[in-house]
């Protein structure tokens, strides 16, 4: 027995799925994953995990893994050596840059890859290729929340930790489904609610699990959140329930803000949102009576035309009630991917260097130029949306994308696919031959988190270390090594031997991470940014000042932007979101037997009323059509949705079921996050059961 035991390797890792950031030990023998062992010491989850963290790892050993570089020859892909593939990329990207300028190439980063890899990728784009056209998939989800928080409190991350959420007297969840999207975080809320008298308010258009458990569940009209939030805020001011002392000592622009709320009366909200005055007064009273309130939100808020403004309205409400800077208070945009926070933090964004310092700030640029020995582009680059439009307009000729299934997850798939077809040159780097890879000219085989070292940042801003368990499969390589080899083909002299050296460089350049180092992240240690040079981290933000020069927050007046829906013939509203068992396009989860077995296909949720009206039963096959495309899916009749509202999980395996065949190119006016949730469709019955 001891012989057998000695061969078992136990390695600490961090979950590669959602932004909660659970960590645990992986027990392995050779390349076999024996089990996932949660540990008391894990700072976020302790002994908890969800099904994905527990069972979602088989993909690492999937036979479908890419193990060799591939080069397109006509309609075929042929295997190539790394030399051939990287030489070709250097030649083609170099040629396109030469001919059309540095602005003709776009760079799409990965929220699944490490901080170090994202840091190197933006360094490659900026310092070697001379372009700020670098973005990541936060553009599809939480960019509006980041923008709303940057405006009001000065930093884009969650105000505190998941422990803070659990200790709040009142938790308000708007447009988020944590029980499926952030399961371990949701268990903390459920426990606090059940055992410690925490109050829970849920605002959503779908009665998901937390909504069923809530003390108050409100169901506003789709896309009307800003109105009821502003009306609550106005009502609180009218009742003189605001935190005067907090406002006077810590907040700017109060008078202008208060004036901006004039039209948001309860009557106006009642008319526009379908919520009753009684419901709004009830929620306002709960906020008034609670000593600590925090607000959690996600895609139900951010994937709308007016999403940045709604996120701003949430922050305004927290500010006037003094709900920042104390345990149990604050703003919590729930981050989707395991490292979407880190991808943004470490600079894969068109207008920011790592640590949210503007590329337009000459002082900051100078710091990077000095360190990197080059001159850097001043103008902010294109975001994902602008890159797709840039390809259609002929401005962008090439794209380099890693670890991102853009062909399925970006809105208006047909429009994205036709853009990819127009590219002169397209590099896709992934662990699988993804849907996006089908459009590529060169496909590079990368290694997943279990095959490399690095760090991720979870939704709480917590930086955690993950450790290499296996060697990269076949000829695949960690993404950071690929970037280094490519950079050196452009004459750079990068010589990073380990990701820790990349982190050291990031820490030396970005003040937000000044004290971050691998020594300080050993074992189960973690650091919550900002981290000062002496290693002191910041689990709770804004305890004495907000992140502006004068230390005061800003109230920002915002008005409602009506949603953009297609014409009247598209009579049903199609909502979309996650399933517990799968993650996004399912490239990993559908390749994990334990998960696919549980839920092999997505289904369309149809309300009891609509099912009756259209004579539909469970299992019926329906077609959904929008002005942009068509899908065919099976029906599940449920009381989670009401009336003419439909719900289709976004976790599809093929184009014919993918929600983004239906979505449009409309977007949040400020951040360009697609308005995935503003979608009208018509439905026809193909088979009624
Ligand atoms: Fe992974 Fe999120 Fe599940 Fe935790 S809650 S195990 S981070 S998917």
442-482: pLDDT as tens digits: 999 999 999 999 999 999 999 999 999 999 999 999 999 99
From 14, 34, 61, the end of a domain falls on: 61
66-107: pLDDT as tens digits: 999 999 999 999 999 999 999 999 999 999 999 999 999 999
- What is the rounded CA–CA span in Å between residue 489 and residue 493? 9
Domain, as residue range, for 77: 70-139+339-528
Expressed in angstroms and rounded, the spacing between residue 94 Cα and the centre of ligand 1 is: 40
Q: Do 321 and 372 fall into the same domain? A: no
Whether the per-residue pLDDT at 111 is higher than 90: the answer is: yes
Q: What is the mean predicted confidence (pLDDT) over 385-410?
A: 95
CATH number of 14's domain = 2.20.25.90
176-225: pLDDT as tens digits: 888 888 998 999 999 999 999 999 999 998 899 999 999 999 999 988 99
Looking at the 3D structure of the chain, how many domains does it have? Answer: 4
Burial degree of 75 (CB within 10 A; 0-12, 13-18, 19+):
exposed
Q: How many CA atoms lie within 13 A of 482 on its CB side?
A: 32
CB atoms within 10 A of CB 249: 10
53 lines ligand 1 (CB under 6 A): yes
Residue 35 parent element (H or E): strand 32-37
Q: Which residues pair with 71 in a beta bridge?
A: 78, 442
Q: What is the mean predicted confidence (pLDDT) over 109-129?
A: 97
Residue 549 belongs to a domain: no
Q: Do 499 and 599 fall into the same domain? A: no
Q: Do 104 and 163 fall into the same domain? A: no
From 528, 544, 562, the end of a domain falls on: 528
> Which pLDDT does position 600 carry in this prediction?
62
Q: Whole-model pTM above 0.90?
A: yes
Q: Do 108 and 174 fall into the same domain? A: no
52 lines ligand 1 (CB under 6 A): yes
Q: Do 351 and 416 fall into the same domain? A: yes
Q: How confident is the model at residue 125 (pLDDT cuts 50, 70, 90)?
A: very high
Residue from 15, 335, 595 whose mutation best tests the ligand 1 pocket (most atoms within 8 A of CB): 15
* % of the chain at pLDDT higher than 90: 78
Whether the per-residue pLDDT at 1 is higher than 50: the answer is: no
The answer to whether 567 and 676 have CB atoms below 8 angstroms apart is: no
CATH number of 618's domain = 2.40.40.20
Q: Do 351 and 321 fall into the same domain? A: no
Mean per-residue pLDDT over the chain, rounded: 93
Between helices 479-489 and 115-123, what is the axis angle to 10°? 20
Q: Whose CA is nearest to atom 6 of ligand 1?
A: 53
Residue from 37, 51, 53 whose mutation best tests the ligand 1 pocket (most atoms within 8 A of CB): 53
CATH number of 351's domain = 3.40.50.740
Q: Among the atoms of ligand 1, which is closest to the Cα of residue 16?
A: 1
Residue 133 belongs to a domain: yes
623-651: pLDDT as tens digits: 999 998 999 999 999 998 999 999 888 76
Query: 519 Cβ partners below 8 Å, 6+ apart?
Result: none
334 lines ligand 1 (CB under 6 A): no
Whether the per-residue pLDDT at 5 is higher than 70: the answer is: no
Residue 539 belongs to a domain: no
659 lines ligand 1 (CB under 6 A): no
20 lines ligand 1 (CB under 6 A): yes
Q: Among the atoms of ligand 1, which is closest to the Cα of residue 184?
A: 5
Residue 557 belongs to a domain: no
Q: Do 671 and 623 fall into the same domain? A: yes
From 279, 313, 334, the end of a domain falls on: 334
Q: Do 577 and 635 fall into the same domain? A: yes
Q: How confident is the model at residue 583 (pLDDT cuts 50, 70, 90)?
A: low
* % of the chain at pLDDT higher than 70: 95
Residue 551 belongs to a domain: no
Tokens of 683: 């439905």
18 lines ligand 1 (CB under 6 A): yes
Residue from 22, 39, 342, 581 whose mutation best tests the ligand 1 pocket (most atoms within 8 A of CB): 22
Q: Do 165 and 270 fall into the same domain? A: yes
287-332: pLDDT as tens digits: 999 999 999 998 888 888 888 999 999 999 999 999 999 999 999 9
Q: Do 168 and 187 fall into the same domain? A: yes
CATH number of 183's domain = 3.40.228.10
- What is the rounded CA–CA span in Å between residue 69 and residue 482? 11
Q: Do 185 and 116 fall into the same domain? A: no
Check residue 274 and give left, alpha or beta (phi > 0: left; psi -120 to 50: alpha).
Answer: left
Q: What is the mean predicted confidence (pLDDT) over 425-439?
A: 96
Q: Which residues pair with 296 in a beta bridge?
A: 173, 332
Residue 316 belongs to a domain: yes
Residue 567 belongs to a domain: no
> Which pLDDT does position 648 carry in this prediction?
87
Whether the per-residue pLDDT at 580 is higher than 80: the answer is: no
Expressed in angstroms and rounded, the spacing between residue 338 Cα and the centre of ligand 1 is: 8
Q: Do 680 and 606 fall into the same domain? A: yes
445 lines ligand 1 (CB under 6 A): no
Q: What is the mean predicted confidence (pLDDT) over 419-440?
A: 97
Residue 552 belongs to a domain: no
């Amino acid at each position: 027995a001891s012989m057998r035991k000695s061969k078992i390797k136990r390695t600490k890792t961090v979950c590669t799925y959602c932004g909660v950031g659970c960590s645990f030990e992986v027990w392995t023998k050779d390349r076999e994953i024996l089990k996932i062992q949660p540990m008391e010491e894990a700072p976020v989850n302790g002994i908890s995990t969800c099904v994905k963290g527990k069972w979602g790892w088989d993909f690492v050993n999937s036979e479908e893994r890419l193990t060799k570089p591939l080069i397109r020859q006509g309609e075929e892909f042929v295997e190539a050596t790394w030399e051939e593939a990287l030489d070709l990329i250097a030649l083609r990207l170099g040629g396109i840059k030469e001919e059309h300028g540095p602005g003709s190439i776009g760079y799409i980063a990965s929220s699944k890859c490490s901080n170090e890899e994202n840091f190197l990728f933006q360094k490659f784009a900026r310092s070697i290729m001379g372009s700020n056209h670098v973005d990541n998939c936060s553009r599809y989800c939480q960019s509006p929340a980041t923008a709303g928080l940057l405006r009001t409190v000065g930093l884009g991350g969650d105000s505190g930790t998941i422990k803070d959420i659990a200790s709040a007297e009142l938790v308000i969840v708007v447009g988020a489904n944590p029980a499926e999207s952030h399961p371990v975080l949701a268990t903390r809320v459920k426990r606090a609610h059940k055992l410690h008298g925490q109050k829970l308010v849920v605002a959503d258009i779908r009665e998901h699990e937390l909504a069923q458990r809530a003390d108050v569940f409100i169901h506003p009209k789709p896309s009307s959140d800003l109105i009821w939030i502003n009306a609550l805020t106005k009502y609180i001011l009218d009742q003189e329930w605001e935190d005067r002392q907090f406002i006077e000592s810590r907040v700017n622009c109060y008078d202008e803000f208060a004036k901006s709320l004039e039209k948001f009366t309860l009557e106006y909200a009642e008319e526009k949102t379908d919520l009753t005055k009684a419901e709004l007064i009830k929620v306002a009273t709960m906020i008034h009576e609670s000593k600590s309130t925090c607000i959690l939100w996600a895609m139900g808020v951010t994937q709308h035309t007016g999403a940045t403004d709604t996120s701003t309205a949430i922050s305004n409400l927290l500010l006037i009630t003094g709900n920042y800077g104390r345990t149990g208070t604050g703003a919590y945009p729930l981050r989707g991917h395991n490292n979407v926070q880190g991808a943004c933090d470490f600079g894969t964004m068109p207008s920011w260097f790592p640590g949210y310092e503007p590329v337009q700030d000459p002082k900051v640029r100078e710091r990077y130029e000095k360190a990197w020995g080059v001159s850097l582009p001043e103008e902010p680059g294109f975001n994902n949306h602008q890159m797709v439009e840039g390809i259609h307009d002929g401005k962008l000729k090439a794209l380099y994308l890693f670890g991102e299934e853009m062909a399925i997850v970006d809105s208006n798939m047909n429009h994205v696919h036709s853009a990819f077809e127009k590219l002169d040159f397209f590099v896709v780097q992934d662990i699988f031959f993804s849907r996006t890879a089908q459009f590529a000219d060169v496909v590079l085989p990368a290694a997943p988190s279990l095959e490399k070292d690095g760090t991720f940042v979870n939704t709480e801003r917590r930086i955690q270390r993950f450790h290499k368990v296996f060697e990269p499969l076949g000829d695949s390589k960690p993404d950071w090594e690929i970037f280094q080899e490519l950079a050196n083909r452009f004459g750079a002299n990068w010589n990073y031997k380990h990701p820790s050296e990349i982190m050291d460089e990031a820490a030396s350049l970005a003040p937000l991470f000044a004290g971050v180092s691998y020594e300080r992240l050993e074992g189960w240690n973690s650091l919550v940014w900002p981290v000062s040079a002496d290693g002191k981290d910041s689990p709770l933000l804004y305890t004495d000042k907000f992140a502006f020069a004068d230390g005061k927050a800003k109230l920002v007046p915002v008005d409602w932007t009506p949603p953009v829906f297609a014409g009247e013939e598209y009579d049903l509203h199609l909502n979309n979101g996650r399933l517990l068992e799968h993650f996004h396009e399912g490239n990993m989860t559908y390749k994990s037997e334990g998960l696919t077995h549980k839920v092999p296909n997505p289904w369309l949720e149809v309300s009891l009323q609509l099912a009756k009206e259209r004579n539909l039963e469970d299992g019926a096959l329906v077609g959904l059509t929008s002005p942009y495309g068509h899908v065919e899916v099976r029906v599940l009749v449920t009381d989670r949705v009401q009336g003419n509202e439909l719900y289709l999980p976004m976790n599809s395996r093929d184009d014919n079921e993918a929600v983004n065949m239906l979505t449009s190119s409309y977007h949040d006016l400020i951040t360009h996050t697609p308005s995935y949730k503003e979608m009208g469709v018509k439905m026809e019955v193909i088979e009624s059961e």
